[in-house]
């Protein structure tokens, strides 16, 4: 008995209103799925993790991960949903009561979008503590100067959660000190020195290079304590990994659903192709890996929601789920033969989309490095 059957059913019903043709059109036109996002917001799913006292639904990361899974399993793409879910966690855990009252009810109601998260920089890459964007206090405001890359959904968000250096790296004891988190009002910043340059990618994913030229950010938009921002971002990483694992699982099950249906129906050499072990076994193997990753996702989410340490499980879940979804994608495209490459079958689109998860939001090597260092107690490799 699936404890989340009703939740899954609700998301599935909503997703049925956005069939494959909707996602195909968005993909072809590189369009933001506005109608889908509005429906998800109205149904309360995007406010799943916001507590009820701020107008949200007050669910756990487990439920949120299931919501994203169902979106991806339906053939859709939850990339626009997940960011709001995990980005607002920083505000929720580290913002002042005044800040939470100021933003969370509007986010929950869909009046404000907090869907952009600005960490990655061209110079630093995965080495976040070496980021070079600075926020310097000028006696009145912080002034943000620097460059970010691959910052998604900026053109469709009202706020960006920004990580910037407030104390130079040579003046801190640990390089993770001296970084701070800000809520940047994008509507104001665009009039005040923020330049956005879109980056085209292989799938429909609005992402951008950002150039900050002395953008002013008021003190009341600093989240938590100045200089502690890196630990706030790290705090949110486990939730992010569990949510992303949910999306990977959804993709993986989508591929298995579609490929098994196709393999039962497609007849070549007078028999369904699914009768051939060469078609059957890769699907069975990918399914086994998906189920195992699913268990790890559940364990990670349960630990997270009970307030227990979940770093190991969250990292394992993200690693296993992203690899299982990619394995299922490969098996599905092979099962479909030439049709796997035809846009109308949706396999090629989902194939492109699911590949991202081994690179972003965090790459597989960095997850392995976490497991090596923090779980297996091996010397730090980077
Ligand atoms: C479509 C898309 C959307 C994104 N959206 C956002 C966003 O909204 N906000 C945001 O902040 N970022 C975003 N990112 C950035 C993403 O998080 C980074 O691309 C990712 O963290 C990797 O950083 P990098 O691209 O600089 O790769 P690099 O750090 O240059 O790494 C390149 C490769 O080298 C490997 N590598 C590097 N160092 C080591 C090491 N010590 N040991 C082993 N392997 C290593 C990496 O694992 C990777 O495979 C997005 C990226 C993409 C592609």
pLDDT band at 42 (very low <50, low <70, confident <90, very high): very high
In the chain, % helix, strand, coil (3-state, to 5) comes to 60, 15, 25
If one counts every other C-beta atom within 10 angstroms of the C-beta of residue 341, the result is: 12
Nearest CA residue ID for atom 22, ligand 1? 126
Q: How far is the CA of 370 from the centre of ligand 1 (A)?
A: 15
CATH superfamily of 5-109: Acyl-CoA dehydrogenase/oxidase, N-terminal domain (1.10.540.10)
Q: How far is the CA of 28 from the centre of ligand 1 (A)?
A: 25
Q: How far is the CA of 354 from the centre of ligand 1 (A)?
A: 15
Mutate to test the pocket of ligand 1, among 360, 362, 367 (most ligand atoms within 8 A of CB): 360
Backbone angles phi, psi at 165, to 5 degrees: -85, 125
Question: Long-range contact list for 233-236, CB < 8 A, 24+ apart?
Answer: 233/90, 233/119, 233/128, 233/163, 233/181, 235/89, 235/90, 235/93, 235/94, 236/86, 236/87, 236/89, 236/90, 236/93
User: Which three-class secondary structure state does DSSP give residue 230?
Assistant: helix
The ligand 1 atom at the shortest distance from the C-alpha of residue 83 is: 8
User: Which three-class secondary structure state does DSSP give residue 379?
Assistant: coil
149 has a pLDDT exceeding 80: yes
342 has a pLDDT exceeding 80: yes
Q: How far is the CA of 208 from the centre of ligand 1 (A)?
A: 14
Spell out a b/e string for 125-155, using b for 16 or more CB atoms within 10 Å of the CB, else e: eeebbebebbbeeeeebbbbbbbbbbbbbbe
Mean pLDDT of the chain: 96
Q: Which residues contact 225 (CB under 8 A, 6 or more apart)?
A: none
CATH superfamily of 116-227: Butyryl-CoA Dehydrogenase, subunit A, domain 2 (2.40.110.10)
If one counts every other C-beta atom within 10 angstroms of the C-beta of residue 255, the result is: 32
Query: Which amino acids bring their CB within 6 angstroms of ligand 1?
Result: 117-120, 125-126, 150-152, 201, 205, 207, 356, 359-363, 365-366, 369, 381-382
What mean pLDDT comes out for the span 240-264?
98
Domain 231-375 grouped into CATH 1.20.140.10: yes
pLDDT band at 82 (very low <50, low <70, confident <90, very high): confident
The ligand 1 atom at the shortest distance from the C-alpha of residue 127 is: 29
The predicted model scores a pTM of 0.97
Residue with the two structure tokens 């090629």: 348
What mean pLDDT comes out for the span 45-69?
96
DSSP character for 51?
-
Nearest CA residue ID for atom 4, ligand 1? 150
For the chain, the C-alpha Rg in angstroms (whole number) is 21
Mutate to test the pocket of ligand 1, among 114, 115, 126, 319 (most ligand atoms within 8 A of CB): 126
Residue 133 CA to residue 148 CA, distance in Å, equals 8
Nearest CA residue ID for atom 12, ligand 1? 120
Q: How far is the CA of 226 from the centre of ligand 1 (A)?
A: 26
What mean pLDDT comes out for the span 53-70?
97
Say what the pLDDT of residue 368 is: 98
234 has a pLDDT exceeding 90: no
Q: How far is the CA of 355 from the centre of ligand 1 (A)?
A: 13
Q: Which region, left, alpha or beta, applies to residue 282 given φ > 0 means left and ψ of -120 to 50 means alpha? A: alpha
pLDDT above 90: percentage of residues in the chain: 95
What mean pLDDT comes out for the span 365-378?
97
pLDDT band at 370 (very low <50, low <70, confident <90, very high): very high
The ligand 1 atom at the shortest distance from the C-alpha of residue 125 is: 26
Nearest CA residue ID for atom 50, ligand 1? 150
Domain extents in the chain: 5-109, 116-227, 231-375
Q: How far is the CA of 199 from the centre of ligand 1 (A)?
A: 15
What mean pLDDT comes out for the span 175-200?
97
Nearest CA residue ID for atom 25, ligand 1? 125
Q: How far is the CA of 364 from the centre of ligand 1 (A)?
A: 9
Give the pLDDT confidence of 281-305 residue by residue, as tens digits. Answer: 999 999 999 999 999 999 999 999 9
Give the pLDDT confidence of 121-146 residue by residue, as tens digits. Answer: 999 999 999 999 999 999 999 999 99
């Amino acid at each position: 008995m699936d404890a989340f059957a009703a939740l899954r059913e609700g998301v599935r019903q909503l997703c049925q209103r956005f069939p494959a043709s909707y996602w195909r059109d968005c993909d072809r036109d590189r369009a933001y799925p506005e109608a889908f996002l509005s429906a998800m917001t109205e149904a309360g799913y995007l406010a799943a993790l916001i507590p009820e006292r701020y107008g949200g639904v007050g669910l756990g990361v487990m439920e949120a991960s299931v919501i994203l899974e169902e979106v991806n399993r339906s053939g859709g793409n939850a990339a626009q949903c997940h960011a709001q879910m995990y980005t607002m966690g920083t505000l929720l855990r580290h913002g002042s009561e005044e800040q939470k009252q100021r933003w969370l009810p509007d986010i929950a109601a869909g009046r404000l979008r907090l869907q952009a998260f600005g960490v990655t920089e061209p110079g630093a890459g995965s080495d976040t503590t070496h980021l070079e964007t600075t926020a310097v206090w000028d006696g009145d405001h912080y002034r943000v100067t620097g460059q970010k890359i691959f910052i998604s959904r900026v053109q469709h968000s009202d706020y960006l959660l920004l990580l910037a250096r407030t104390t130079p790296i040579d003046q801190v004891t640990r390089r993770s000190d001296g970084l701070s988190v800000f809520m940047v009002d994008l509507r104001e910043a665009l009039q005040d020195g923020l330049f956005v340059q879109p980056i085209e990618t292989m799938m429909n994913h609005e992402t951008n290079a950002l150039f900050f030229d002395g953008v002013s950010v008021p003190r009341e938009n600093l989240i938590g304590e100045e200089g502690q921002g890196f630990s706030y971002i790290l705090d949110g990483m486990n939730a992010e990994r569990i949510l992303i694992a949910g999306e990977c699982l959804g993709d993986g099950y989508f591929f298995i659903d579609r490929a098994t249906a196709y393999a039962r129906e497609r007849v070549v050499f007078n028999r369904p192709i699914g009768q051939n072990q060469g078609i059957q076994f890769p699907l069975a193997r990918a399914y086994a890996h998906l189920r195992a990753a699913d268990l790890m996702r559940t364990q990670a989410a349960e630990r997270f929601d009970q307030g227990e340490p979940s770093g190991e499980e969250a990292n394992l879940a993200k690693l296993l789920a992203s690899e299982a979804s990619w394995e299922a994608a490969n098996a599905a495209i092979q099962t479909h033969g030439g049709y796997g490459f035809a846009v109308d079958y949706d396999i090629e689109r989902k194939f492109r989309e699911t590949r991202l998860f081994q690179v972003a939001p965090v790459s597989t090597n960095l997850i392995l490095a976490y497991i090596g260092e923090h779980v297996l107690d091996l010397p730090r490799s980077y």
